[in-house]
Amino acid sequence: MQPTTRIQPYQQVTTQEVCGFSIHIHQVVLFERCTVAVNTYDINNNLVNIQMLEISGDDYKAWSSDDAYITNYVASKLGFDIVHSSTEPASTTPANTPTNTPTNTPTNTPDLIPFNG
């Protein structure tokens, strides 16, 4: 591995839109705290960032066995709004597909004459 060249601190700011996250348990200290890795993803499900988040004290105790609690807790701490299935973005397929049905039906049908040829 190539060694890292040290530089003076440099402020580099980038902005990326994230559309989802996953949570992975990193460390647990029973009855005390938990550290989780939060992976964030873009619209194409590409990994954008990984950040560590510690849950401790009353927040850790409130977790109990409810995984939805930890998902909501992480979303709240990171300022994310969870999209529930009823509010997910609409598909690109139109809700009402137009149909071509005739509005007038013929009242007289022509007589068919056999062809003798």
- The string of DSSP letters for 64-83 reads TT-HHHHHHHHHHHHT--PP
Of the candidates 42, 39, 58, 60, which has an alpha carbon nearest to the alpha carbon of residue 50? 39
CA distance 20 to 24: 14
Residue with tokens 């977790």: 63
Q: What is the pLDDT of residues 70-79, one digit of tens each?
A: 999 999 999 9
DSSP 45: -
> What confidence tens digit (pLDDT) does each residue in 10-23 have?
988 888 999 999 99
Rounded CA gap, 50 and 39, in Å? 5
Confidence label for 94 from pLDDT (cuts 50, 70 and 90): very low
Average pLDDT over residues 86-103: 49
Please compute the mean of the pLDDT values over residues 100-116 and round it to a whole number.
56
pTM: 0.62
More confident residue, 42 or 105: 42
Structure tokens at 64: 């109990």
Q: What is the pLDDT of residue 91?
A: 44
- The pLDDT, as a whole number, for residue 65 is 82
